[in-house]
């Protein structure tokens, strides 16, 4: 029962991620590609998927996306950020964009 619940949650996260990715791509294609760390061919395919295709794709027991933090040091820098106000968001964005897909 517990495993089934976890798989359901993974599938929900997958669908949410795919819907958000598609929305971002339709609103601002270039910025979405940068934020999602995907290339043009992947962006084109994601943007063109139907609701049925998105749902089918989401129904897996594996995450469809990958955490872009591969470096523990980078994660420590992000979570230990003590910058004031809006500078914290700028610092985080710079750290996150410094590692490309």
Q: What is the pLDDT of residues 1-27, one digit of tens each?
A: 688 899 999 999 999 999 999 999 999
Domain shared by 42 and 57, yes or no: yes
pTM for the predicted model, two decimal places: 0.73
Let me know whether 82 and 100 are in one domain.
yes
The structure tokens 């420590």 sit at 76
Please indicate, yes or no, whether residues 49 and 14 belong to a single structural domain of this protein. yes
Q: What is the pLDDT of residues 52-78, one digit of tens each?
A: 999 999 999 999 988 776 778 877 877
User: Do 75 and 55 belong together in one domain?
Assistant: no
Residue 7 · residue 62 · CB < 8 Å = no
Domain shared by 32 and 9, yes or no:
yes
Here the CATH number for the domain that contains residue 58 is 1.10.4000.10
* Structure tokens that stand for 8 in this block: 């359901």
Same domain, 6 and 48: yes
Q: Are residues 18 and 58 in the same domain?
A: yes
Give the domain range for residue 44.
Answer: 1-66
- What is the rounded CA–CA span in Å between residue 97 and residue 73? 15
């Amino acid at each position: 029962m517990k495993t089934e619940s976890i798989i359901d949650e993974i599938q929900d996260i997958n669908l949410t991620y795919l819907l958000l990715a598609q929305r971002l791509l339709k609103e601002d294609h270039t910025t979405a590609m940068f934020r999602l760390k995907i290339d043009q061919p992947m962006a084109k395919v994601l943007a063109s998927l139907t609701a049925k295709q998105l749902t089918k794709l989401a129904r897996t027991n594996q995450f469809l996306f990958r955490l872009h933090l591969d470096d523990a040091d980078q994660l420590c820098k992000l979570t230990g950020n003590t910058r004031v106000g809006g500078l914290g968001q700028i610092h985080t964005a710079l750290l996150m964009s410094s590692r490309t897909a």
